Structure 1
Amino acid sequence: MQAVIVAGGKGTRLRPLTYQMPKPMLPLFERPFLVFLVERCREAGITDIVINVHYQAHQIQQYFGDGSRFGVRIRYSIEESALDTAGAVKLAEPLFSGAPLVVFNADILTDLDLKALIAAHRSAGAVATIALTRVEDPTAFGLVELDSDDRVLAFREKPTAEEAARLGIDTVNAGTYVLEPHIFAPVPAATPWSFERQLFPGLLAAAQPVLGFVSSAYWLDIGNPAKYWQAHSDILTGHMPYSLAAREHRPGIWIAPNAEVDPQAQLEAPCYIGEYCRLGPQATIAAGTILGSASLVNRPLSAGLYPPGTMVP
């Protein structure tokens, strides 16, 4: 297997956080989110990775290099202009090995079982397998309709509440795919091309087998500030499994090894205190606080996501 991570977007919904940093490099508990995706590939046995880059590409290339530091091989496909999702993967075609591709959108936090997704793709003999998740309110998403064998029948644009109720469909595209590389042959080069609007509907029109893999795994699009904050909160509360580089001093109280916390400081669960932070005796850390590294606090701090170097003397 080979992985392609689509990481070239400008992250406009996350501004101002992304003015000087590409969205996949935003930290999730002090580690770039893209590290999480690379490690997920390695843990699933996928060590040949292509990362599509465009906006602030040099930051990603400098951080990951050839991937050897992470136990994988990384190469880069550089977009000169935005090519949309399928167009970005098409650009990487010269780097394809011929093996099936596991494709990721670089703004999805999930604990989806990649090995199970790959096994389902192989068992079904599909040319494309789309991870799907169920949502309570489908009006904000395009819906994916399946038959009784989980083959995709149709893609439906964002429905009204009445249409969603009538259709009885709550499965939406979860942003992770297993794809046979030959399906990109008809995609025009250097042309913006969409998975949802062009490539996948084209496969259905050509009667190609497209599988829907419905999962109950945790799933969150972290592409806006509210969702980015929710990702941290869900990890702290245990809704999303994630390895924190900190010790749980008390239930829900996570403190990094090099942080200094005065015994009189008051910490409410859940919260996270980053590397080299210093909390004085008057510090009160409210529940739901994520304090970035090298921060100084000596008075009450309300819940929120605080960047590294925050000073509250």
Structure 2
Amino acid sequence: MKALILANGRADRLGPLSLAAPKALLPVANRPVIWYVIQSLREAGVEEIAVTVGPRTRAIAEFVEPLGGPACPVRCLWERRRTGTGGALRDHLGYMEGEPIVVVPADIIAGVDIRALVRQHLAHPASVTVAVARQDPARWDGDFLVTDGPVVTEYLFKPGAGAPTTLGSTGAWVVRPDVVPLIPRTGFCDFSAQVLPGLPGAGRSLGAYDAGVVYQRDVGVPQRYWQGNIEAVSGSSPASRYLPGPSPAAPRGGATVVRGPVLIAPDVTAHPSARIYGPAVLGRGAVIGAHTSIVSSVVLPGAEVPPYSLLSGSVFGTAHHLDGALLRPDTAGRADRLVGAAGGAR
């Protein structure tokens, strides 16, 4: 089965973090978030991956295309303008070649078993099969589904705390071509808002794969982006298993890791008087000034933290320092070092 990664969306909620790079390229544990999405699809046995890109996200193509190989090629589908999740399916109908495809967002790290999602779709065919996970309506602001076994009877777009169910959409779908005629022929279309709520009564079927309680982190807002990094380094994210093994290494210059874990990318330079309190992430080429304390924070690639700074629960970076630092698929994250308290192994 093929997969489509939706990567051409806006990143308004990320504020200055999105000025220098598309959100799909923002690093989580020193790898672009889309890297984890591609890994999960590959490991699920997907045979081909396409990624939507446009004028403002063309840098994504430079990163993802070298990641492909004979077993699972990765290619990009060009969009002259942003047309939304539904518009992407409509405009790239030819990519489906008459068969269902897996569709996932580029900015969510999730523990959904994509292979199991596909099995569910094949066992209970539907126009769209949605992967759902248990969520607390009082705390989660996504979409919810009411189901009768594997069949969805009602799709609720962002209902808020009043949702009558705990089954929340993870944003991962299997989509059949027969749903595309329900998408408006032109213009922007949000598939979740404009198509899925009417699907059970539109002569098409809507199914659900219940993934249970799984990790899910949308890194599309600063607070959640910070959480995604901290959770990865702490070992509670699916991204954690891709991190390097523990090492007694420390940044160049000899800063003290007072407690871990701390993920240190190559070429990080820190003054000997600097102190690092994990969980924390130091991005490639970062410079940590004298008498600086970094506490549960993320220092982005190329950022220079001034002397006598205190970073606590923060994401620190400068837009121009990010430019180009994320576009090295052959080296990004490969030589990172994960260290524990006082530079010792975790």
**What TM-score do you get using the length of structure 2 for normalisation?**
0.79
Show CA shifts across 1:173-198 (max 9, x none).
Answer: 11000111222134333322222222
Match of 2:344 in 1: none
- In structure 2, the residue matched to 1:126 is 126
For structure 2, list consecutive stretches of 5 or more residues without a partner in the other structure: 308-346
Residues 143 and 159, structure 2, Cα contact 8 Å, conserved in 1:
yes
Query: Structure 1: any 5+ residue segments left out of the alignment?
Result: none
Q: State how many pairs are aligned.
A: 301
2:294 matches 1:302: yes
| Conservation of the 8 A alpha-carbon contact between 1:23 and 1:107 | yes
SS of aligned partner of 2:20: coil
Give 1:107's aligned amino acid. D
Displacement, 1:277? 1.5
| Distance (Å, rounded) in 2 between the aligned partners of 1:170 and 1:55 | 38
Shift in Å, 1:83: 1.4
Corresponding position: 1:11 with 2:4: no
Q: SS of 2:267's equivalent?
A: coil
> Given the alignment of the two structures, is residue 220 of structure 1 paired with residue 217 of structure 2, yes or no?
yes
Alignment of 1:72-91 (within 5 A): 72-91=72-91
Q: How does 1:201-280 map to 2 (within 5 A)?
A: 201-215=197-211, 216-242=213-239, 243-249=241-247, 259-260=251-252, 262=254, 265-280=256-271
Q: For the Cα contact (< 8 Å) 1:6–1:105, is it kept in 2? A: yes
Amino acid aligned to 1:8: N
Q: Distance in 2 between matches of 1:156 and 1:111?
A: 22
Select between 16-25 and 56-65 the one with higher mean Cα deviation.
Answer: 56-65
The yes-or-no answer on 1:42 pairing with 2:42 is yes
Structure 2 vs 1, CA of residues 160 and 132 (structure 1 numbering), >3 Å: closer, same or farther? closer
- Residue 102 of structure 1, CA deviation: 0.2
Whole-angstrom CA distance in 2 between matches of 1:94 and 1:158:
30
Contact preservation (8 Å) 2:101, 2:176: yes
One-letter amino acid matched to 1:43: E
Quick one: which amino acid aligns to residue 296 of structure 1?
V
Supply the distance in 1 between the matched residues of 2:242 and 2:144 (Cα, whole angstroms): 34
Alignment CA distance shift 1:160-1:92 (3 Å): closer
Task: Specify the code of the residue in structure 2 equivalent to 1:190.
Answer: T
Deviation at 1:98, TM superposition (A): 2.6
Q: TM-score, normalised by structure 1?
A: 0.87
Higher relative contact order (CA 8 A, sep 6+): 2
SS at match of 2:18: coil
Asked whether the 8 Å contact 1:52–1:89 carries over to 2, the reply is no
CA distance in structure 2 between the partners assigned to 1:130 and 1:260 by the alignment: 47
Helix, strand or coil: the match of 2:103? strand
> 1:170 pairs with 166, 174, 180, which one?
166
d(CA) in 1 for partners of 2:114, 2:243: 24
Tell me which residue corresponds to 2:335. none
TM-aligned CA distance change 1:275 to 1:71, over 3 Å: farther
Q: Which amino acid counterpart does residue 133 of structure 1 have in structure 2?
A: A
| SS in structure 1 at match of 2:75 | strand
Question: Structure 1: how far apart are the matches of 2:259 and 2:75?
Answer: 43
Give the structure 2 partner of residue 112 of structure 1.
112
Secondary structure (helix, strand or coil) at the match of 2:220 reads coil
CA distance in 1, matches of 2:142, 2:184: 27
Q: Indicate conservation of the 8 Å contact 1:131/1:213, yes or no.
A: yes
Conserved in 2, the CA contact under 8 Å of 1:39 and 1:70?
no
Shift of 1:67: 4.6
For residues 310 and 277 of structure 1, the distance between their equivalents in structure 2, rounded to whole angstroms, comes to 10
Residue 67 to residue 92, structure 1, CA distance change in 2 (3 Å) = farther
Quick one: which amino acid aligns to residue 6 of structure 2? V
Percent of pairs identical after alignment? 26
Aligned 8 A contact 2:156 2:197 in 1: no
Task: State the 1:55 CA deviation.
Answer: 5.0
| d(CA) in 1 for partners of 2:244, 2:253 | 13
The one-letter code of the counterpart of 1:94 is G
